[in-house]
C-alpha cells in the first residue's frame, strides 16, 4: 500500500477555492458612482432621493438611542408607513421599516423567529425593497445607493432565515407560515441571500454565504475525509 497526494485538475482547484474562500468568488456587479441613485423606471430623481433620505434621517433619529421605547418605535413606523404610501417605489424606506420592526420586537423582549406578525411584515418589506432595487439583468451596473439597499436587504433576509433554521435544528417549529421548510431548506435560502448580500458589497454576507453553502459543506466533509485517509496512509 502506498500513499499518494490526490491530484486536482485546474477546474477542481478553482471550484474548491470558490467554495471555501469568499474573497475568490466571482466579482459582483459593476457599481457605477456616475449613475443616478435609482433606475429611471422607479421615478425617483436624485433630488427626490436627497429629500426622502433627509426625511428618513429625521424619522429614524429617535431610534438611534440605546433603548427606544415601543411607543417611539411605533411612531417611527407610522411615519415610514406614510412615506411609503406617498413614495411606493423608493426602496430604502422598506429596508428602514423592516429594521424598525426588528427594533420593536427587540424592545418587547420577544424572539424575532417566534413573532409571526413581525416576521411577515419584515420579509414583505425586504422582499419589496429587493424587487424594486434589483436591476433587470445581472450584468447591469448599479449605483452605490442601489448596491447598499440590495446588500442590506439580502443580508437582513438571510439572517432571519438562518435564525429560523436554527429553531428547526433545535427541535422547534417556528411560525406556522415557515413550517413547510426544514432546517436545510431554510439554510439554503439564507445562503442564497447571503450570496447576493455579498455580491452587492456586504463583507459579512460574503463569509456567511460560504459557511451556509450546502455544497461547500459537502465538499468540506469530502476534503476532511480525504485528508484523514491521507494521514492514515490509506490512498493506494
203: in domain: yes
Total of domains in the chain: 1
Structural domain harbouring 183:
10-232
3: in domain: no
Q: Are 162 and 212 in contact (CB under 8 A)?
A: yes
199: in domain: yes
Local confidence band at 203 (pLDDT 50, 70, 90 cut-offs): confident
DSSP 3-state helix, strand, coil percentages of the chain (rounded to 5)? 70, 0, 30
225: in domain: yes
Residue range 127-171, pLDDT digits in tens: 999 999 999 888 899 999 999 999 999 999 999 998 888 888 887
Q: Is 197 helix (H, G, I), strand (E, B) or coil?
A: helix
For residue 199, the tally of other CB atoms under 10 A from its CB is 21
Distance of CA 153 to the CA centre of its chain: 6
Please state, for a pLDDT cut of 70, what percent of the chain lies above it.
74
5: in domain: no
125: in domain: yes
Strand partners, 31: 142
* Rounded Cα–Cα distance for residues 155 and 206 (Å): 9
| DSSP secondary structure, 75-126, as one string | HHHHHHHHHHHH-TT-HHHHHHHHHHHHHHHHHTT--GGG-HHHHHHHHHHH
Q: Which residue has the higher pLDDT, 44 or 12?
A: 44
1: in domain: no
Amino acid at each position: 500500500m502506498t500513499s499518494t497526494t490526490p491530484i486536482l485538475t485546474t477546474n477542481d482547484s478553482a471550484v474548491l477555492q470558490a467554495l471555501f474562500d469568499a474573497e475568490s468568488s466571482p466579482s459582483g456587479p459593476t457599481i457605477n458612482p456616475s449613475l443616478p441613485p435609482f433606475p429611471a423606471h422607479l421615478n425617483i430623481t436624485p433630488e427626490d432621493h436627497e429629500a426622502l433620505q433627509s426625511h428618513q434621517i429625521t424619522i429614524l433619529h429617535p431610534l438611534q438611542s440605546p433603548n427606544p421605547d415601543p411607543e417611539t418605535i411605533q411612531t417611527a413606523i407610522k411615519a415610514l408607513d406614510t412615506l411609503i404610501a406617498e413614495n411606493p417605489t423608493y426602496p430604502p424606506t422598506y429596508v428602514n421599516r423592516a429594521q424598525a420592526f426588528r427594533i420593536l420586537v427587540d424592545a418587547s423582549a420577544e424572539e424575532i423567529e417566534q413573532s409571526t406578525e413581525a416576521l411577515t411584515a419584515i420579509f414583505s418589506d425586504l422582499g419589496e425593497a429587493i424587487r424594486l432595487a434589483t436591476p433587470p439583468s445581472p450584468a447591469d451596473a448599479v449605483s452605490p445607493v442601489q448596491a447598499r439597499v440590495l446588500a442590506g436587504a439580502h443580508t437582513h433576509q438571510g439572517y432571519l432565515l438562518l435564525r429560523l433554521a436554527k429553531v428547526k435544528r433545535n427541535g422547534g417549529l417556528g411560525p406556522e407560515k415557515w413550517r413547510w421548510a426544514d432546517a436545510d431548506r431554510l439554510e439554503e435560502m439564507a445562503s442564497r441571500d447571503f450570496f447576493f448580500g455579498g455580491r452587492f458589497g456586504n463583507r459579512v454576507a460574503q463569509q456567511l454565504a460560504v459557511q451556509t453553502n450546502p455544497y461547500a459543506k459537502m465538499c468540506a466533509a469530502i476534503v476532511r475525509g480525504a485528508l484523514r485517509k491521507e494521514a492514515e496512509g490509506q490512498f493506494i
